[in-house]
Amino acid sequence: RALVNDPKIIFADEPTGNLDSKNGAGIIDLLIQLHRERQTTLVLVTHAPEVAEHAGRVITLADGKVVGDEYREENANGQRSTVN
């Protein structure tokens, strides 16, 4: 339902939480596809490093405070970030 009106921004709180790895990867692939095809901005909350590695920017929180704000051209695997 959230995608019907072609939103410009998608907020996703733990979009892969409680999913097995195959379905979680499918959700991330869908979000990346939306970003590429519709230029949708994605704001994700995650505890999963394998999800965060796709991002062009990662803001890290600890005890409710920002402890890191990293822009990156490449992800942890040395590949260009999937989502900017």
Check which CATH number belongs to the domain holding 47 and give it: 3.40.50.300
Residue 80 belongs to some domain of the structure: no
Provide the domain count of the chain: 1
What is the reported pTM? 0.73
Residue 61 belongs to some domain of the structure: yes
Quote the domain boundaries for residue 19: 9-71
Residue 77 belongs to some domain of the structure: no
Residue 49 belongs to some domain of the structure: yes
Whether 3 has a pLDDT exceeding 60, the answer reads yes
Distance CA 60, CA 8 (A): 24
Whether 69 has a pLDDT exceeding 80, the answer reads yes
Residue 38 belongs to some domain of the structure: yes
Residue 46 belongs to some domain of the structure: yes
Chain-wide mean pLDDT for the chain? 85
For residue range 22-42, list pLDDT tens digits in order. 999 999 999 988 888 888 889
Residue 35 belongs to some domain of the structure: yes
Whether 83 has a pLDDT exceeding 70, the answer reads no
Whether 82 has a pLDDT exceeding 70, the answer reads no
